[in-house]
Structure 1
Amino acid sequence: MPELPEVHGYKVYIDSTSLHKKITALDCRDKRLLKKPLVDFENALLGESLTETVRIGKYLFLKTTGPKILIMHFGMTGRPNYYKDPDDRPRFGHIVLTFENGFHLAFENKRKFGWWELVDDIEDYRKETNLSKDARELSLEEFKEALATRKTDIKKVLLDQSVSAGVGNWMADEILYQAQMHPKHKVKDLTEAQIKSIYDAMKHIIETAIEHDAHYADFPEDFLIHNRKEGATCYHTGVEIEKIKVGGRSTYFSPKWQKL
């Protein structure tokens, strides 16, 4: 599933291809991906241009020359695809914007968990949906405050988008691996030093992933992502990586490196 670093890459991609071009057509092959009627999107987008993108966690907000803001959420397999020849429309490009220069922006969405929405204000939407500030922008104090009333497993809390918007499953595992923290460690039992260690690991992983365009093979060799499967070898200890369920999500950790 696209997480913060991947969606950051999508933002950069759209910024470099699709802004400041008048939208002349909108084609949607599956209206279930639209949170509002198709006519609302046509009224909001046709004849307008995309002017700016803003990312909060896994959500990408696209401002327009009109009053509405388009939200793209990429679900499990979504991604943008900018192309010219209509014959190059990707197989799973279920929604396509066409620009006056003849190019197209497809919203690829193989498993159809992604969606589009229209809103009037980004901050209002963030508050209404209980999103935290983007995890990349969170201060240590804001992170501490978000954890203050939590009592459950740290892995489960890291996945809560009201705590650290943009952190998904692989990132949460990586954060806890880098911080040497067991995924079932209770938040209420964390020390100040442990909270800072988790926060620092989160920031390090976000910046590293963005620096490498979320291309996992280029991540530092001590990252769990290279061995994130059951039975693989922990970089630090040589013991086998274990797989458990935390909050209903598959979770990978090193039992000797991340002791409970």
Structure 2
Amino acid sequence: MPEIGEVARIVNYLQKHLVGKTLTVVKAQHDDIVFGKVGCSAEAFEKALTGKKVLGAGQQGKYFWMEMSSPPHPLMHFGMTGWMNIRDEETAYYKPSQSKKSDEWPPKFWKFALETAEEPKSEAAFVDKRRLARIRLIDYPAEDIRKVSPLVENGPDPIIDKDILTEEWLGKKLASKRVPIKALLLDQANISGIGNWVGDEVLYNAHVHPEQYSNTLSPAQVKQLHKSIQYVCGFAVHSLADSSKFPEDWLFKHRWGKGKKDSATKLPNGAKFVFLTVGGRTSCVVPSVQKKTGPVAKDVEDEADEDDGSDRKEETQPAKRKRASKVNDRKQTVTQEAEPVENGVANGEEADENPSKPASKKRKSDVKAETNCMDAGSKKPERKAKPRENRVKGEAKYETTGRRKSTRVSGKGV
């Protein structure tokens, strides 16, 4: 969830509470995902930061870091639910926590906790409930952090890289790809920092439909899209993601009631907004404003069909049957291509000669034939039946208890 504005908010708190101070206490709990997935560990993190002075804090899109008095430097990404808590400070964005403030420290789901030596002492903790965050160490000079992986693989930041993310640069980027424009904006390899809600806000402000292919935008649309990126991202960063300062006509102010009873479905100006899925993400769209002016992705489920009929002709019955036939053909093709994987090919096993017959569902005759073809030496020795004289002799007496019938055998073995 934290995007460019929310990360700017936490960088501001780091500058306020940690920069210029020495970290006298550094505690970390190892997490095979949060630390381990990026080749770091709790022990290495503690060793790298303990006794070091924090000289600065920086950001590129959704990534942020602390510049230490000497390398390595911690580089962090919040993922979906990560955040940085400052003791005795409300750092929450959008709206303060509704729950009663806990005095527990370090807070629940903490990954690392810091304490400064200088008075007044400051304490900070990185928390993540869903473990989708990433914490790593960059063993390069601070000025080279953005020149090495993973930041070097990411696109320019809309705020700090305005000299790169120009209208001309954006036009070339859009023209070089044929993907839904919303998907392009969310890809951090193209532009850093734009997430789901920022992407929707940008496209609404630019009057561009999220499904439209990126290489079909007109020069005028590219120009407006560039202005909208600068406007929305700039406002989010400069306001430190304080939603109380967001314009009242932003989608952000009204979009969060999806699926809830009596939730808003219109903006203050009366324009109706709907939700559809683009690139696997839920998008908030205002059909009356965001018109489709070019080809769109055909595999996107449009939940706004009923509301966006102005730019779609009603499909005839023959056309519907033809389209359904094509869909069935595609499904059949995909199924046929996927069958070898189900038969074990993807796991390095040899495929059955007849891939249409899953190995787990072989006929009994096939199993019997395979058994008969086994080498004689590999067969288990047959078990001989016990002599009758070794069996228990006696009469079987039956006892009935309720509905269940039990057998008691009396007698002695020979």
TM-score (normalizing by structure 2): 0.59
Alignment match of 2:131 (pick from 107, 112, 116): 112
**How far did 1:245 drift?**
0.7
* Change in CA separation of 1:128 and 1:79 when aligned onto 2, cut-off 3 Å: closer
Root mean square deviation of aligned Cα? 2.0
Q: For the residues of structure 2 that align with 1:104 and 1:222, how far apart are their CA atoms?
A: 38
The equivalences for 1:51-200 within 5 A come to 51-83=55-87, 87-101=104-118, 102-119=121-138, 120=140, 121-125=144-148, 130-136=153-159, 137=161, 138-200=165-227
Partners in 2 of 1:56 and 1:211 — Cα distance?
15
Say whether residues 1:222 and 2:269 are aligned partners: no
Which whole-Å deviations, capped at 9, do the CAs of 1:162-195 have from their partners, x for residues lacking one? 2210000000000011111111111111111101
* CA–CA distance in structure 1, aligned partners of residues 81 and 195 of structure 2: 14
**Letter aligned with residue 41 of structure 2:** P
**Alignment check: 8 A CA contact 1:234 1:254 kept:** no
Could you tell me which runs of 5 or more consecutive residues in structure 1 were left unpaired when the two chains were aligned: none
Residue among 245, 249, 257 paired with 2:289: 257
State the 1:58 CA deviation: 0.4
Deviations 1:119-153 (A, max 9, x none): 12312325665201212223223323332311111
- The structure-2 alpha-carbon separation of the partners of 1:177 and 1:235, relative to structure 1 and needing over 3 Å to count, comes to farther
Letter in 2 for 1:59: Y
- Flag structure 2 segments of 5+ consecutive residues without an equivalent: 89-102, 259-263, 293-414
5 Å-filtered alignment, 1:221-240, equals 221-228=248-255, 229-230=257-258, 232-236=265-269, 238-240=270-272
**Larger relative contact order (CA 8 Å, sep ≥ 6):** 1
Q: In structure 1, the residue corresponding to 2:27 is in which secondary structure?
A: strand
User: Larger C-alpha radius of gyration, 1 or 2?
Assistant: 2
Q: 1:235 to 1:186 in 2, by over 3 A?
A: farther
**Per the alignment, in what secondary structure is the counterpart of residue 111 of structure 1?**
coil
Other structure's SS at 1:25 match = strand
State the TM-score, normalizing by the size of structure 1: 0.91
Q: In structure 2, give the amino acid aligned to 1:133.
A: P
Q: Percent identity?
A: 30
Q: How many residues align?
A: 258
3-state SS of paired residue (2:191): coil
Task: Tell me the amino acid that sits aligned with residue 56 of structure 2.
Answer: E
SS of 2:75 mapped into structure 1: strand
Q: Is the 8 A contact 1:14 1:80 kept in 2?
A: no
Structure number having the greater strand percentage: 1
Asked if the contact 2:209–2:290 (Cα under 8 Å) also holds between the matched residues in 1, the reply is yes
The whole-number CA distance in structure 2 between the counterparts of 1:249 and 1:61 is 28
